Amino acid sequence: MTPVPEHMPTVFPKPEHLCNLAELQARLALRAGLFSHIRAVFEENGFMAVETPLVINAPAPEEFIEAPRCGERFLRCSPELEMKRLLCAGFERIYQIGACFRAGEHGRRHREEFTMLEWYECGADYWQLLRFTSMMLREAALRMFGSPTINFQGMTIDLKVDPQIITVDDAYRQFAGISSAEALERDIFDEIMSSKIEPQLGLGRLTFLMDYPASRASLARLKKDDSTVAERWELYIGGLEIANAYSELTDGVVQRQRFAAEATARAASGMNVYPEPVEFFESLEYGMPDCAGCALGMDRLAMVFTNAEDISQVTMN
């Protein structure tokens, strides 16, 4: 039998290193508080908590996201298609906090397994989602710290002031001296985003990066008055990408076209082509209501709320 240690341990073993136990305990306690405050805000606003399957038949095809295999099936990269099936079935305000998986993503801000908050609201568009998200984060800070400000990596982030709102194209012009169209044309869109733009976003307050080029629409609907951009935003805090939201595409025909285009792109880069999401397409036949949805990385939000520089400081792996 292993002898009982004389002293409480001061370190906690992790896959690649030992971490300081007291620090981890403090951060995990704050993380738990953050989660319960966020859940409370959803409950108070009439959202219903749902749980959709982790193991799925057919992930949404995306050119740069790889679902880990799970036997003959897949671990979900996001709960998006399953939650949208619930919207088609008449649920109007739903949210979920749960694990998602992305093969090969590992770094200071990435884990292959991470925790996602995802929610949908019928009748809303991405502007309403922007206001709700700002309110939710302000509430979380107030309830946790009694103050609408958080200290993150040497910065004070004020959640009470109006967020910065900047379009993708303006951000490319302002921070990189190039239009977003030209960056796409020269195939340096992601490199510029990562090296020149992201570090400038969310400094001192929230930044919503709005209106992505149509080729980066994913499942967002295009703007009615400007079909070159999609009604999509990403939220940044302290240079960290936190959330991604759309006014959702509801047109079943366009949806199928986007999936086909992504599947073709995946095949062209030698990635496996997923089975067709049959049940999702069937649900769309019944009609998807006008809605907006957002996916938010809870581990990263926990990093911001606990002033952590590495995602490993707020997780067990």
Is 172 a residue that touches other proteins (CB under 8 A)? no
Q: Residue 238: which region, alpha, beta or left (left: phi > 0; alpha: psi -120 to 50)?
A: left
Shortest Å, Cβ 208 to other proteins = 12
- Minimum CB distance to other proteins smaller for 84 or for 196: 196
Note whether 175 binds other proteins by CB under 8 A: no
Interface pattern 15-54 for other proteins (x via CB under 8 A): ----------------------------------------
Please identify which residue in 193, 210, 222, 298 interacts with other proteins, judged by CB under 8 A.
Answer: 193
The contact mask relative to other proteins for 244-263 (x = CB under 8 A, - = no) is: x-------------------
| 48-87: contacts with other proteins (CB under 8 A) | 62-65
Question: Does 216 interact with other proteins (rule: CB under 8 A)?
Answer: yes
Query: What are the two backbone dihedrals, phi and then psi, of residue 186, each rounded to the nearest 5 degrees?
Result: -90, 5
> Per rule CB under 8 A, is residue 118 in the interface with other proteins?
no
Render 204-234 in DSSP notation, one character per residue.
SS-EEEEEEEGGG-TTBPBPSS-TTEEEEEE
Does 195 help bind other proteins (rule: CB under 8 A)? yes
Residue 291 near residue 250, CB atoms below 8 Å: yes
Q: Which of 33, 92, 105, 149 binds other proteins (CB under 8 A)?
A: 105
Q: Name residue 145's amino acid.
A: F
Q: Which of 73, 110, 173, 258 binds other proteins (CB under 8 A)?
A: 110
The tokens of 293 are what? 């949805």
- List C-alpha distances in Å: 162 to 12, 123, 165, 208: 40, 24, 9, 11
DSSP string, 277-309: -HHHHHHHHT-PPSEEEEEEEHHHHHHHHTT-S
Single out the residue of 90, 107, 146, 154 in contact with other proteins (rule: CB under 8 A). 107
Q: Should residue 211 be labelled a site residue for other proteins when binding is judged by CB under 8 A?
A: no
Q: Can you name the residues that pair with 207 across neighbouring β-strands? A: 164, 236
CB 88 within 8 A of CB 129: no
Instruction: Please report, as residue ranges, which positions from 266 to 305 form the binding site for other proteins (by CB under 8 A).
Output: 269
Other C-beta atoms within 10 Å of 31: how many?
22
Contact set with other proteins (CB under 8 A): 62-65, 104-110, 189-191, 193-195, 198, 209, 212, 216, 218, 234, 241, 244, 269
